[in-house]
Amino acid sequence: MSLYWGKDAIVLFPEWPNQSVSMYFLAILFVFFLGMVIELLPNQPTIKQGTNHIKGGLIQAIIYFFRIIFHYFVMLAVMSFNIGIFIAAVAGHTLGFFLVKSRAIYVANKKQNLESSVAIDEI
């Protein structure tokens, strides 16, 4: 097995993308989307304080369930050894990571600016 480039791949299901350029492009978008969603789904979802422990655990388990399913789908798609699918998976993970981390930095900066403005107002 070696990496190859072309629309003649089997991605996740037999006869998909079925040697069609449009279906191959759809497969690339699907893998890209899955890679991005994996990064967007939180590792540890924030549960409001005071939430029932059973309900909170169930919510975390459901999110984890879908995250793992998406991980395995991307892994199986990349195992098609198609370079386009591989690039789509890496790009999806990268964009998702960028969105998550840039949002975290934005929230941290906003919180720091609010704290510094409160400190200035107290003086």
**Is there a contact between 57 and 39 (Cβ–Cβ < 8 Å)?**
no
Residue 120 has pLDDT above 70, yes or no: no
Kindly report, residue by residue over 69-102, the tens digit of the pLDDT: 999 999 999 999 999 999 999 999 999 999 999 9
pLDDT at 85: 96
Q: State phi, psi for 46 to the nearest 5 degrees.
A: -80, 120
Using CA atoms of 86, 92, 97, 103 in order, give the dihedral in degrees to the nearest 10. Answer: 170
- Residues near 32 by Cβ (< 8 Å), separated by ≥ 6? 88, 89, 91, 92, 95
Kindly report, residue by residue over 6-52, the tens digit of the pLDDT: 888 888 888 888 888 999 999 999 999 999 999 998 866 677 788 88
